[in-house]
A and B are shown apart, each in its own frame.
Chain A
């Protein structure tokens, strides 16, 4: 049997850089020019199959707009296995914002988190404000993965997620919440799954000693 891993992936970045669009392209291969700010669906999954038969299932968390007024809850990224920090190549300020998210992750997230810096809207290179060299240099200094994408054309989108999928099983042991069987804790000592019906089998552990 081939191996399957499941990881929690969070998206971070300034409003309107294209976080939700990237997810939509990656998960459903769609794009929407007039996409409203994210409402409703903010929790999707997508599986990537690697050459060696390993499959990596991403549990993708979108910010649900909470970052708009600097109000993203730390629980959002606390136990993420990987983060895609997005900036818009046509907005210098969005790279600044991406840097501050990366600092926050380095301070508060799990030390083994895999971070990918992602320059989105590469189809708009005529209006480019952030050069590839500048972004790549910063990513190298901080030990981040880096790539440019266009959620609109689809260019680079699969590549960045596949690159993360390749790196993850090697570097990040599936953490509790991102583990193979959700909710992860139920398989561990003392962990409980509230969604299991009350009085279902195993209600009383045979040994409480």
Chain B
């Protein structure tokens, strides 16, 4: 390890692996390390042995769950928006070569004690019990307005200024009922709380457009999912990095982040070895997250909230989902008297993540009280009998600085959103700080083929 690198990357979560891959393609000499003996960090998918070792160190996985190799249980519940930013990166880097995707079969929303399908076609919308007849007409006008919007053509604006007017004002303009607003803001724009309503409507508009264009790509739901679990994503970007010369070391303890007298990054110490680089990029767990005092007394990350997640193993699909092999269910906060939505994400053997006839559901929400597990109750109730359940409460960390002053670039924790859009935002943020320019995706030259 006496070589010197351009960048050391710590942790093999998806954010770090995308960065590592893109940096290697850019020609940087990258050393990528992880303290675990597996890829993925907090965004890993675990087999049964790893899952029980993590949550129940003194219990072996029950034999009736089947073969270890059939399992890839995600630690965080996220899906890929079909037309979102992660899809674009996958295509541009050609990492799609290493992966196979399937659709998530349905998207559902909870209302008045029942779950209903989020319409994926006009036919479904007409039949949907989510709105009455008159409300459907009003909603149709609203969507036609959004679809027709052209920034450069004021005639399409109907007097609305997306950068000034609030979403609340637009809902009112079209006379939409509170239930419809919930549906649009939470099931389509995928906001976790209602803060968006009072902000300029531009962002909500963009989110709705992303949702509808993702939905239009393959139908059924706006989401796709990689076979063998989300953990395939970081591994695929790690391979991209390796192909472009990135060096990989798993199972390495990271004992010290070494800085010079000015606090600037010098290198990383692992046991007796020290390896130097110009910059370091890493997830919060390598920079003092959860510790009272960080290395050298410098606080590099702050907790900005917590997420509670329950990984549930089921032996049946979720009731009311038409036996979907995979689905998202959104419980809007209003419906259950909360500030933040509760999400349920379910996948199954169709996605090669568990044995046949087993389903893996993750119920999650942003923690609001000092009894996080109880906050999940409305989601857990939808599942029916749960075979086994693993609860995690994770802090969401955010870096205290952008890293440009000390060459230490810390990524953010995986948030409570249902997709990877914020992960890509973080990739863009770190890239800009570390490389000094905006990330521009170029279609990669495909490797030599015979």
Chain A residues with a Cβ under 8 A of chain B? 27-28, 39-46, 64-66, 68-71, 73-76, 78-79, 107-109, 176-177, 182-185, 190-195, 198-199, 203-205, 208
Chain B 117-154 near chain A by CB (<8 Å), digits 1 or 0: 00011001000000000000000000000000000000
B219 touches A208 (CB 8 A): yes
A62 to chain B, nearest CB (A): 9
Is B169 part of the contact surface with A, judged by Cβ < 8 Å?
no
A96 to chain B, nearest CB (A): 19
A40 touches B243 (CB 8 A): yes
B100 touches A45 (CB 8 A): no
Chain B residues with a Cβ under 8 A of chain A? 39, 68-69, 82-83, 87, 90-91, 96-103, 105, 120-121, 124, 213, 216-220, 224, 227-228, 231-232, 235-236, 238-239, 242-245, 247-251, 325, 350, 447-450
Task: State which of B97, B105, B218 has its C-beta within 8 Å of the C-beta of A43.
Answer: B97
Cα of A66 to Cα of B124 in the assembled complex, Å: 48
B227 touches A44 (CB 8 A): no
Chain B residues positioned under 8 Å from A74 (CB to CB): 39, 235
Cα of A71 to Cα of B232 in the assembled complex, Å: 14
Task: State which of A75, A76, A191, A205 has its C-beta within 8 Å of the C-beta of B101.
Answer: A191
B69 touches A65 (CB 8 A): no
Cα of A152 to Cα of B87 in the assembled complex, Å: 42
| CB within 8 Å for A66 and B69 given contacts A75-B228, A176-B100 | no
B29 to chain A, nearest CB (A): 11
Task: State which of B101, B216, B325 has its C-beta within 8 Å of the C-beta of A194.
Answer: B101
Task: State which of B87, B220, B448 has its C-beta within 8 Å of the C-beta of A44.
Answer: B448
B247 touches A190 (CB 8 A): no
A191 touches B238 (CB 8 A): no
Smallest Cβ-Cβ distance to B248: which chain A residue: A71
12 additional contacts, CB 8 Å, given A79-B228, A192-B103, A192-B218?
A39-B244, A44-B447, A46-B450, A65-B242, A66-B242, A107-B69, A190-B325, A194-B87, A198-B83, A203-B218, A203-B219, A208-B120
A204 touches B121 (CB 8 A): yes
Chain B residues positioned under 8 Å from A108 (CB to CB): 69
B124 touches A44 (CB 8 A): no
Chain B residues positioned under 8 Å from A198 (CB to CB): 83, 213, 217
Chain B residues positioned under 8 Å from A190 (CB to CB): 102-103, 105, 325, 350
B449 touches A185 (CB 8 A): no
Cα of A74 to Cα of B232 in the assembled complex, Å: 9
A-B contact count (CB 8 A): 129
| CB within 8 Å for A71 and B250 given contacts A194-B91, A195-B96, A204-B121 | yes
Smallest Cβ-Cβ distance to A185: which chain B residue: B100
B219 touches A66 (CB 8 A): no
Task: State which of A70, A109, A194 has its C-beta within 8 Å of the C-beta of B90.
Answer: A194
B277 to chain A, nearest CB (A): 16
Cα of A43 to Cα of B244 in the assembled complex, Å: 12
Cα of A27 to Cα of B244 in the assembled complex, Å: 21
Cα of A195 to Cα of B350 in the assembled complex, Å: 21
Chain A residues positioned under 8 Å from B325 (CB to CB): 190
Q: Which 4 A-B pairs have the closest CB atoms?
A: A71-B248, A73-B235, A64-B242, A185-B100
B216 touches A195 (CB 8 A): no
A176 touches B450 (CB 8 A): no
Chain A residues positioned under 8 Å from B220 (CB to CB): 205, 208
Cα of A185 to Cα of B105 in the assembled complex, Å: 15
A66 touches B239 (CB 8 A): yes
A187 to chain B, nearest CB (A): 11
Cα of A76 to Cα of B39 in the assembled complex, Å: 12
A69 touches B247 (CB 8 A): yes
Chain B residues positioned under 8 Å from A75 (CB to CB): 98, 228, 231-232, 235-236, 239
A78 touches B228 (CB 8 A): yes
Smallest Cβ-Cβ distance to B218: which chain A residue: A192
Chain A residues positioned under 8 Å from B350 (CB to CB): 190
B217 touches A199 (CB 8 A): yes
Cα of A109 to Cα of B242 in the assembled complex, Å: 22
Smallest Cβ-Cβ distance to B88: which chain A residue: A194
A29 to chain B, nearest CB (A): 10
B101 touches A192 (CB 8 A): yes
Can you list 6 A-B contacts with CB-CB less than 8 angstroms, sorted by A residue number? A40-B448, A68-B247, A74-B235, A176-B227, A182-B97, A203-B216
Chain A residues positioned under 8 Å from B96 (CB to CB): 183, 194-195
Chain A residues positioned under 8 Å from B236 (CB to CB): 75
B249 touches A73 (CB 8 A): no
A42 touches B39 (CB 8 A): no
Cα of A78 to Cα of B447 in the assembled complex, Å: 22
Smallest Cβ-Cβ distance to A72: which chain B residue: B248
Chain A residues positioned under 8 Å from B219 (CB to CB): 203-205, 208
| CB within 8 Å for A73 and B238 given contacts A44-B448, A185-B100, A190-B103 | yes
A200 to chain B, nearest CB (A): 9
A66 touches B224 (CB 8 A): no
Cα of A155 to Cα of B249 in the assembled complex, Å: 35
Cα of A191 to Cα of B447 in the assembled complex, Å: 25
A40 touches B238 (CB 8 A): no
| CB within 8 Å for A27 and B450 given contacts A65-B247, A76-B239, A192-B218 | yes
